């Protein structure tokens, strides 16, 4: 606490030196369309390389837009693209004082104290609502909904510091199907030092496309008929709240950034939504982070924060074994606009004041050897090769646990994720790109064994690479792969659209053909990892696997003269299972065939989602 107080006092002293109003340093949400625009601009060589640490501050976004608009060769961007950029420039620039009824906020400025420290305040309201449905040929139609009104207070203190406090409350419904039970290890596992209690397995929300639903509520949900109860999921209409906040500081012309906040993040010099180590689909958590970019070819970032429990059971029971902190550092190397390389070092550890993990100048992976083998260590790297004006190709690896002296191709203990992809600039339409990628997540990746840890007595603590029950890394579960093709474009100033195809294959985590290591709550048998037949993997050939073919079209339309934006998503999900004729987890590879049984049925669904935002931020 003393270190934090000293840090805040130093920052406040620097902030007090300012005598003019700042360009705000609050962040732009990682789902904002501006990230896709800037990504494509960077690919085309229209702006300098941008950081792999997201979200960006509004000042960073404005600077990048101005750089593009002020290109010497004005013909590099079309008239429509210029209008799009000017629209975002106006959105994130300093507003006029007073009430803006069309944008739903009040903005004011003043000076405080004997030194006349400038202070600005922007207070506003937001509203987002959507309805969704899943129409299944063999099952009933399901309906879901989200209604989230909110308020925010944000502004600047001088030139260096900005603040943003958001609170929203919502009603939601996202029905799921109970598939049965699954075991952390495997059904016949027997080790008196490990717990192997079965837990319930649920489908993805039936009113959303697979692996796209993002929980907006914090903690637990409250069902309407019993408001005092804490529940884990809104299968029926339920209420909840959401709290997001941040204090940001920027020095040396955005070369040194510091943030204390609870918000969503994504790290890595790969396309938005592709990070294997720190993905934007992860739930927000409170953390202290910094980024230093002393020279154009190198930057260094560090973050330490507190992860949040997943309310699987009661509020106290669920949190008693999940008391984790998370620390990550990333070094970014760049050669102009051609070569990008990131190296990340991360750790999930039961909460304790562990200076070695918190310190950005200490490598956590090696530092663990000084403490004992208690915590969940991870390493990750990204390499992106880019030819401005044409496109790029990237390769990523995430290592949760790996033994180079063991069989790399078949052992479950090689807990890693791999990804390769490419994006192409499409010159015909405004800000258009085509993305192709393949991702493979090995069994048990992002998971970790429960174990006894210092400070926690005999309680078996969970240290999986998750926050609030959601992976901090990629959105797919362990033992899965994905082929992704995505086309994005902005044909008009106020319209963004996307067309996407996915093929996802994942090991079943329920039923008689369930494959070990196919769930974030899986745990790898600690003994005989090189010789136990069960602990071998043969993707698609060692049990039941679900295959999903997903085609969807989506977009967002922002009205010009009214404070509304409308968004939609529609498409189909074709799902079926394959299985072998031999028992699952036999330790051998077997041929498989497509099946259609009561346990593993075929399914075809049509998903439709419609929503609007009032006073979109």
Question: For the domain that residue 582 is a member of, what is the CATH number?
Answer: 2.40.160.130
Domain that holds residue 589: 2-610
pLDDT of residue 379: 96
pLDDT attached to residue 102: 87
Q: What percent of the chain has pLDDT over 90?
A: 74
Residue 497 has pLDDT above 60, yes or no: yes
Angle in degrees, 0-180, between the axes of helices 34-43 and 79-92, rounded to the nearest 10 = 130
Q: How far apart are CA 255 and CA 451, in angstroms?
A: 41
Highest mean pLDDT, choosing among 222-226, 353-357, 509-513: 509-513
In a domain, 582, yes or no: yes
Task: Examine residue 445 and state whether it is found in any structural domain, yes or no.
Answer: yes
Q: What is the pLDDT of residue 229?
A: 62
Alpha-helix residue ranges (DSSP H) falling in 423-557: none
Q: What is the mean pLDDT of residues 411-429?
A: 94
The number of distinct structural domains making up the chain is 1
Least confident piece of the model among 82-96, 105-119, 223-237, 377-391:
223-237
d(CA 190, CA 342): 41
Question: Which tokens hold the place of 139?
Answer: 């099952």
pLDDT of res. 226 = 61
For residue 329, what are the contacts with CB-CB under 8 A and spacing of at least 6? 300, 301, 302, 303, 344, 345, 346, 360, 363, 364
What is the reported pLDDT for 23?
A: 60
The model's confidence at residue 7, banded by pLDDT at 50, 70 and 90, is very low
Express each pLDDT in 17-74 by its tens digit: 444 445 689 999 999 999 999 999 999 999 999 999 999 999 999 999 999 999 988 8
Least confident of 183-187, 439-443, 537-541: 183-187
Note the pLDDT of residue 224: 67
pLDDT tens column, 365-413 = 888 888 888 899 999 999 999 999 999 999 999 999 988 888 889 999 9
- In a domain, residue 436? The reply is yes
> What is the number of residues in the chain?
617
**Reduced DSSP (H G I as helix, E B as strand, rest coil) percent helix, strand, coil of the chain, to 5:** 10, 45, 45
Mean pLDDT of the chain: 91
Mean pLDDT of 457-480: 94
Does the pLDDT value for residue 200 go beyond 90?
yes
Q: Residue 6 above 90 pLDDT?
A: no
Residue 18, pLDDT score:
41
- pLDDT at residue 228, as a whole number: 56
Give the pLDDT band (50/70/90) at residue 439. very high
Give the pTM: 0.92
The first and second tokens of residue 88, run together, are 């975002």
Q: In terms of Cα–Cα distance, which of 210, 212, 211, 203 is closest to 235?
A: 203
| pLDDT (average), residues 135-155 | 93
**Who's near 469: CB < 8 A, 6+ residues apart?**
283, 310, 311, 312, 520
Determine, yes or no, domain membership for 616.
no
**What mean pLDDT is predicted for residues 520-535?**
91
Q: Which of 398, 422, 434, 131 is nearest to 277 (CA)?
A: 398
- The reply to whether 405 falls in a domain is yes
Give a yes or no: residue 615 inside a domain.
no
Determine the Cα angle at 496 with ends 493 and 499, to 5°: 150
617 inside domain: no
Predicted pLDDT of residue 138: 81
Q: What is the per-residue pLDDT across 174-192, written as a single tens digit (0 to 9) for each? A: 999 999 999 999 877 888 7
Q: Does residue 89 sit within a domain?
A: yes
pLDDT surpassing 90 at residue 201: yes
| Per-residue confidence (pLDDT) for residue 11, from 0 to 100 | 44
Q: Cα–Cα distance between 188 and 210 in angstroms, integer?
A: 30
């Amino acid at each position: 606490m003393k270190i934090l107080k000293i840090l805040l006092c130093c920052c406040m002293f620097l902030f007090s030196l300012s005598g003019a109003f700042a360009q705000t340093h609050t962040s732009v949400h990682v789902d904002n369309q501006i990230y896709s625009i800037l990504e494509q601009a960077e690919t085309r060589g229209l702006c300098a390389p941008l950081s792999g640490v997201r979200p960006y501050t509004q000042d960073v976004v404005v600077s990048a837009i101005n750089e593009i608009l002020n290109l010497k060769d004005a013909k590099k961007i079309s008239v429509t693209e210029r209008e799009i950029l000017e629209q975002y420039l106006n959105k994130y620039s300093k507003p006029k004082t007073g009430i803006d009824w069309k944008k739903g906020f009040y903005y004011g400025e003043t000076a405080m104290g004997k030194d006349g420290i400038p202070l600005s305040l922007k207070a506003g309201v937001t509203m987002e609502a959507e309805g969704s449905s899943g129409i299944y040929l063999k099952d009933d139609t399901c309906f879901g909904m989200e209604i989230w009104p909110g308020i925010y207070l944000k502004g600047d203190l001088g030139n260096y510091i900005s603040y943003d406090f958001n609170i929203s409350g919502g009603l939601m419904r996202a029905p799921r199907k109970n598939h049965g039970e699954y075991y952390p290890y495997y059904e016949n596992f027997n080790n008196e030092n490990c717990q192997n209690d079965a837990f319930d397995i649920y489908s993805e929300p039936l009113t959303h496309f697979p692996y796209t639903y993002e929980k907006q509520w914090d903690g637990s949900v409250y069902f309407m008929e019993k408001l005092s109860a804490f529940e884990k999921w809104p299968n029926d209409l339920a209420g909840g709240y959401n709290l997001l906040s941040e204090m940001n500081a920027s020095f040396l012309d955005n070369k040194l950034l510091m943030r204390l906040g609870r918000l969503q993040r994504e790290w890595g010099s790969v396309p938005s939504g592709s990070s294997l180590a720190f993905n934007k689909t992860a739930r927000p958590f409170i953390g202290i982070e910094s980024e230093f970019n002393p020279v154009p070819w190198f930057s260094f970032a560090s973050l330490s924060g507190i992860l949040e429990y997943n309310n699987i059971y009661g509020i106290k029971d669920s949190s008693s074994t999940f008391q984790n902190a998370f620390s990550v550092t990333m070094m970014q190397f760049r050669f102009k606009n051609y070569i990008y390389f990131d190296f990340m070092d991360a750790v999930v550890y039961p909460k304790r004041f562990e200076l070695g993990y918190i310190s950005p100048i200490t490598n956590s992976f090696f530092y663990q050897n000084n403490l004992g083998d208690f915590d969940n260590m991870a390493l990750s790297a990204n390499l992106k090769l880019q030819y401005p004006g044409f496109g790029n190709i990237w390769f990523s690896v995430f290592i949760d646990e790996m033994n180079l002296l063991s069989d790399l191709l078949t052992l479950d203990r090689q807990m890693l994720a791999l990804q390769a992809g490419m994006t192409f600039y499409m010159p015909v339409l405004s800000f258009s790109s085509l993305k192709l990628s393949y991702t493979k997540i090995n069994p048990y990746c992002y998971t970790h064994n429960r174990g006894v840890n210092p400070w926690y007595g005999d309680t078996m603590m969970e240290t999986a690479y998750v926050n609030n029950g959601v992976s901090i890394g990629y959105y797919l579960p362990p033992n899965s792969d994905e082929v992704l093709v995505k086309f994005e474009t902005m044909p008009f100033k106020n319209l963004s659209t996307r067309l996407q195809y996915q093929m996802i294959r994942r090991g079943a985590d329920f039923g008689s053909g369930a494959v070990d290591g196919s769930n974030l709550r899986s745990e790898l048998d600690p003994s005989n990892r090189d010789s136990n037949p069960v602990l071998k993997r043969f993707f698609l050939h060692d049990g039941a696997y679900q295959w999903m073919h997903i085609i969807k079209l989506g977009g967002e339309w922002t009205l010009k003269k009214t404070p509304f934006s409308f968004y939609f998503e529609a498409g189909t999900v074709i799902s079926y299972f394959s299985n072998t004729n031999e028992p699952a987890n036999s330790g051998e590879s077997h041929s498989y065939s497509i099946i259609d049984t009561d346990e593993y049925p075929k399914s075809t669904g049509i998903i439709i989602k419609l929503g609007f935002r009032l006073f979109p931020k």
